[in-house]
Structure 1
């Protein structure tokens, strides 16, 4: 009897296994088909263990590890392509590429799915889950402990939370129960969207943003070309609000729940201190 399928299933659920199971051989050929598992795998895999990551991992607009991704074969999360790579483990997101995951499993390929992180605690859990799946538990624990320590050092204390808005194309905003909301709270800000009742991802009417008078606005860098979704970011009312507030542009560090998130936290902590200094 092989313990490997049991071990991998438990890793996806963050279950700690006994010593008898941890002796199972680590996977030798791993493929990741999700932007966030791509980055976790690149951080944790042993040399030569990771065979392929998704094409999104090489896009600097969405990936905090685009340069590193250039050293791997890129995939488009297609079952036929992945199967022909002969992986003994595929890492996937919980909600993406459902058809690919289903077909790979029917073909006998082991797939571990990782849920997106919506909290700092999830970042640690996902590090440990991917580490267990790769047979790199010790490295994952070390990285998770370092993440916790670095995060604690960036916490902004002693300041009254300042109103802040996260505002993206089509008026999209992360509300309560999101990783972005946790970043705001840790660095001394109050999320206007969460206060307005937005839970998870949602939209915030521009009128509510204007009336809330944020002291800081976080928006994304525009993509090349023209987009109707981005027109709201050029609205005169938002321009007037931005003229009276500090502005931060989000980047790839914000996208996935990995230790790269510390870059976004550091930027926000710096902005909060600058804001307090300027009153």
Structure 2
């Protein structure tokens, strides 16, 4: 009888504790090691809990003033520890040695994979929302983003398919392939990714010439993008050059988005590819 009573008490706390507010409180001191995760915290309304981030975490503006713990690939573990985090957010490209050291020191580290597509991006955002106690807000944001993205995709369905080369790097030349979420920008915007079937992202200018894209999108920042554009302009036989359809876009905006940010970037891209289409009346 006593054993049954004790078992019942244990089960009560396991299955019903959440209903009475006994679950562990959401993390209050967070360190983010990736720009996308940093911005996501602010979108979820918990930016005040962010105590530190990397030098690459520049959005929103408030993130620039947070304590800096290193770069994307090199983290100062001592600085992280001084911030006394109860949660460290990292991505698979983050400083692995630092991540393992933090784990070994008993710090809770949650690792997020690089998104493979828009849906994967949304799943990671929902997971983060759950971690920080903003699950409902995360779901609301994801649902809205998915509806808007689907509406945009529907709007461009009847348009002519445009061949696109999506350049992510210059030395070596690197292209967006089917296995990375940036490919979804192209598909949702009604384009054809000429490098979708490439085994790796490393590409050649000769192959670009052969596939003759209608549009070239260069994802980079500053002078490097302008130099790449000038280089492509010397290839006068490419349709994108003939039609003056070479665009330089913000790498931060396109490569480190939240679900909401993905839609904002997608709208910009559709504006380049299909200027006659109005997407201001997307479904709510």
The two structures have a TM-score, normalised by structure 2, of 0.78
Q: Are the structure 2 counterparts of residues 56 and 46 from structure 1 closer, same or farther at C-alpha, using a change threshold of 3 Å? A: same
Q: Residues 81-160 of structure 1: matches in 2 within 5 Å? A: 81-155=79-153, 156-160=156-160
Structure 2: gaps (5+ residues): 1-13, 278-284
Q: How does 1:26-41 map to 2 (within 5 A)?
A: 26-41=26-41
Q: Secondary structure at the match of 2:275?
A: helix
**How far did residue 185 of structure 1 move?**
0.8
Aligned residues: 249
2: CA distance, partners of 1:178 / 1:149: 21
| Residue 45 of structure 1: how far off its partner (Å) | 4.4
| Inter-partner Cα distance in structure 1 for 2:121 and 2:225 | 34
Q: Distance in 1 between matches of 2:246 and 2:234?
A: 15
Q: Distance in 1 between matches of 2:138 and 2:16?
A: 17
Sort the Cα spacing of 1:264 and 1:198 in 2 relative to 1 into closer, same or farther, 3 A: same
Cα separation, partners in 2 of 1:231 and 1:28, compared to 1, 3 Å: closer
Alpha-carbon contact 2:69-2:76 (below 8 Å) kept: yes
Determine which structure has more spread, i.e. the larger CA radius of gyration: 2
Segments of 4+ moved more than 3 angstroms: 17-23, 220-227, 230-233, 235-240
Q: CA RMSD in A?
A: 2.7
Q: How does 1:238-257 map to 2 (within 5 A)?
A: 238=235, 241=238, 242-245=240-243, 246-251=245-250, 252-257=252-257
Give the gaps of 5 or more residues in structure 1: 1-16, 59-64
- Structure 2 residue aligned with 1:8: none
Is the 1:30–1:89 Cα contact (8 Å) retained in structure 2?
A: yes
Show CA shifts across 1:185-213 (max 9, x none).
1111000111xx314x5122112211222
Aligned-pair distance for 1:231? 6.2
Aligned-partner Cα distance in 2 for 1:30–1:89: 5
Q: Which of 174, 180, 184 is the aligned partner of 1:172?
A: 174
Contact 2:117 2:184 in 1 (8 A): yes
Following superposition, the deviation at residue 236 of structure 1 comes to 5.5
Q: Secondary structure of the residue that 1:193 maps to in structure 2?
A: coil
- TM-score, normalised on structure 1? 0.80
Go from structure 1 to structure 2 and tell me whether the alpha carbon gap of 1:145 and 1:198 turns closer, same or farther (over 3 Å shift): same
| Structure having greater relative contact order (Cα 8 Å, sep ≥ 6) | 1
Q: Give secondary structure in 2 for the equivalent of 1:51.
A: strand
1:16-35 pair list within 5 angstroms? 20=17, 23-35=23-35
Distance 2:43 2:65 in 1: 13
Change (3 A) 1:226 1:268: closer
